[in-house]
Structure 1
């Protein structure tokens, strides 16, 4: 009985009539890995729609924010999928060249990763605890505004408890990451960022394969023509005059390619088609805009950069000191005042949220919470390491934090006393469609704490 039931279950699984959730998830992961470019475009489109839909934060604020948070969490899952899935590469072919389609990983671009990606990927693979804490921190950042909206539906007191709890969780996660990385500057985000995909990869691969096949067919046609000449007693070196072509000469035209070798009256000869008359104003395509095809092998050379992009083209291929450093050396360990500056930067949002909650009776017009938060942020910037030993990745992170300080103009008392009138003046001078979107975001800035949170 047991032996008869086992094959039946096996047939049900093999026929595909019943699939377990694990198999559905595995099939979904394979689909994401093979169609990463299309998935990234869909994510970007959905994320943009949640930004520009008019009336987003009025009547259905929780629904629209739930869609936005869902897209962000789905994108985070796709990023984690690419992290844990190994890239696939193929060995070289017998001809000495690697297979173009098989050697390229289906999971991401072939360009080298950025310094941020190298550093965060190192800690993600080295420390499972770092990966779990970073995932929790990212999930909290993606859902913090949604949680605040849900808490506000039940009263202001619950809303501020939710805000303080979320800021406390974020501070604890950042302090743990600071401890795990042995006192190094925290990067935002703490997980590797998905690298941008190169454009038109599939079309380029198909063109390369077609060129290789065309080269093989051309070589076979030449071999058969020369073989027929040898059977007729003709020696190509005696009957044909082959003029060498310089390596940078333009490719042969179709008429020249078809008239390379012709057998006439039992003799192997070459025909030179008449050159077209020169016309004034006629110019060949620039070599930097279209690749050049080699006449013998029919292989295409890569296009040259634009004349104005030569400097950036060369700088992008320069090997810097950070490119050969180990991942741990991309950020230095902090000591003394630099360590205090990092801790101050981590605790600033929590202190500001607690100060706002204690002065909520006075509303957002009180200057004390805003001045306290801004003073802590400025103190962190003054205490940070300004010496020459700071790495480029650390300077890049502090530059990002400097730009994020612009959000303090949209928070608390400064927004109520200064920026609110400026936003209203801008809204009255722009078209109605743009003004409607600004009005929706103005409602968001005035009523929710995390709408202007820089972290």
Structure 2
């Protein structure tokens, strides 16, 4: 098994740019599969889940390569989200595996629901959804117990490595095999660096100020490139710990909100009761949570993402049935005869029944 994994790793490293492009292309295809043939939605979601799981392994492999190669330097600064989540993954092994398990649950939850809908009764399917939400809530509480900080989504580092920037030394070695011995000879000087004693004559374009702009001072040029306090802050301090009872209550309510929503949805016949309960919990959590300081960019971005997720309530319950769906169907009908964008109408019509049938297409 280890030999097969090593061969796959070597194949990945030698074709990392091609595989990355293939992942993006296949992921785009999944948006057009629903409605094309029988069980196309199941095939589309299975392909999407498989791509996400493979991408998770690829990200882990690429990160391991970068850590083992002292010559590699990132072209762009590491995003603060990746810096924070990677620091926790390196510090605490339990955090790393729980965060990965939570992401795997998120990748496969819709696929599991589709299988349950085809194999089980409606009552058993909703029990399975409640069980999945219970497992996800437990995993989130474990992460909260480890970090004592607001949870980020996703809790693992996102891909921040350009495959084209991989050094050649990494491409010809696999992290699952013994590392190769570095060459003792010094690299040769590139030809365009050999004759560097002839001064470069400034051109008129270099001396003239940009058109339409006044002469820019050195301070104005350097100020956007200066390091901020967030850039030099220790990784684990990018998000401050929860301190007050109000902070803890806000985060606990936010974690329990999806589970309570599903539980109320399965008990009652009225979707509005579950929707209003979840929305009330959402607003309560939002009002209880602390105000992020200007220096905490990671926490502010997470809260901004949570605020944007309020739009998903337009795709649930009676709001979706009486308002959003008629609007979307009207738009699809109006653009159906338009050139070029008419194809978008067919995709919209194929996706509307999926929102009606499956919970995890618009899950909290």
TM-score, structure 1 length as denominator?
Answer: 0.66
Which of 119, 124, 127 aligns to 2:92? It is 127
Q: Which runs of 5+ in 1 are unaligned?
A: 1-20, 91-102, 203-208, 220-243, 251-283, 289-303
- How far did residue 446 of structure 1 move? 0.6
* Match in the other structure for 2:233: 325
Greater fraction of residues in helix: 2
Which of 126, 130, 135 aligns to 1:169? It is 135
Matches within 5 A, 1:36-51: 36-51=16-31
Which of 152, 167, 176 aligns to 1:187? It is 152
Question: RMSD between aligned alpha carbons?
Answer: 3.1
Q: For this pair of structures, how many residues does the alignment match?
A: 331
Which of 322, 345, 353 aligns to 1:443? It is 353
* Match in the other structure for 2:313: 408
Rounded to whole Å, the distance in 1 between the matches of 2:295 and 2:192 is 54
The superposition leaves residues 389-448 of structure 1 with CA deviations (integer Å, 9 ceiling, x where unpaired) of: 772211110001111111111012211121111111111112342111101110111110
Rounded to whole Å, the distance in 1 between the matches of 2:9 and 2:220 is 37
- How far did residue 196 of structure 1 move? 5.1
Q: Which has the higher contact order (CA 8 A, sep 6+)?
A: 2
Q: 1:27 to 1:287 in 2, by over 3 A?
A: farther
Are 1:427 and 2:332 counterparts? yes
CA contact (8 A) 2:335 2:345 kept: yes
Q: Which runs of 4+ in 1 moved over 6 A?
A: 198-202, 310-313
* Match in the other structure for 1:152: 117
Q: 1:287 to 1:430 in 2, by over 3 A?
A: farther
Q: 1:142 to 1:185 in 2, by over 3 A?
A: same
TM-score, structure 2 length as denominator?
Answer: 0.82
Are 1:377 and 2:330 counterparts? no
Q: 1:429 to 1:158 in 2, by over 3 A?
A: same
Matches within 5 A, 1:5-154: 21-53=1-33, 55=35, 59-87=39-67, 89=69, 103-104=71-72, 109-153=74-118, 154=120
DSSP 3-state at the match of 1:173: helix
Rounded to whole Å, the distance in 2 between the matches of 1:312 and 1:170 is 48
CA contact (8 A) 2:238 2:296 kept: yes
